[in-house]
Amino acid sequence: MTRTRRTLVAAALALLAVALPGCQSNNDDGRLVGKWKVVKPVGRSPQKGSEEFWEFKPDGTFTLTVSAAGREEVVHGTYRLGWGDAVYIDYLDGSERYAGKALCRDLAVNGDSVTLTAPGGARGSLRRVE
């Protein structure tokens, strides 16, 4: 390998070493862990008398609880953090609406609030309750 080529490879590796820390998850310091109430559902208006809560646990699991019209549905799943604000959610159980589905959403945590952005651009928000 020529000296010029070695210099280029070293420069590329140095640039990569500097760039990679900026490609980490913005949520990997535990900011997402906790219980969150859905203030505005993604892509729809809140239904009167309904409540939705997400609880993200440190072990990479979550529980989604939806209460409406005197009924409650509890869905379990796993999540993993992607680059930037991306969070990958895999539903493990629940109704046909959820079971076996996976999605990626951008979840931007700002203190006690979260802004969610779905792949199509629809937005929603959460507020920390615990």
pLDDT above 50 for 63: yes
Q: Considering the domain boundaries, does residue 39 fall inside one?
A: yes
81 phi/psi in degrees, rounded to 5? -85, 135
Beta strands in 29-122 (DSSP E): 34-40, 51-56, 61-68, 71-81, 86-91, 102-110, 113-117
**What is the domain range of residue 83?**
24-128
CATH number where 84 lies: 2.40.128.280
Is residue 9 domain-resident?
A: no
18: in domain: no
Q: How many structural domains comprise the chain? A: 1
Rounded Cα gap, residues 63 and 120, in angstroms: 24
Q: Cα Rg for the chain, rounded, in angstroms? A: 19
Mean pLDDT computed over 45-62: 88
CA dist 45 and 128 (Å) reads 20
Q: Given a cut of 90, is residue 35 above it in pLDDT?
A: yes
Q: Average pLDDT of the chain?
A: 75
Q: How confident is the model at residue 98 (pLDDT cuts 50, 70, 90)?
A: low
How crowded is the C-beta side of 69, counted as CA atoms within 13 Å?
1
pTM check: above 0.75 = no
Q: Who has greater pLDDT, 104 or 56?
A: 56
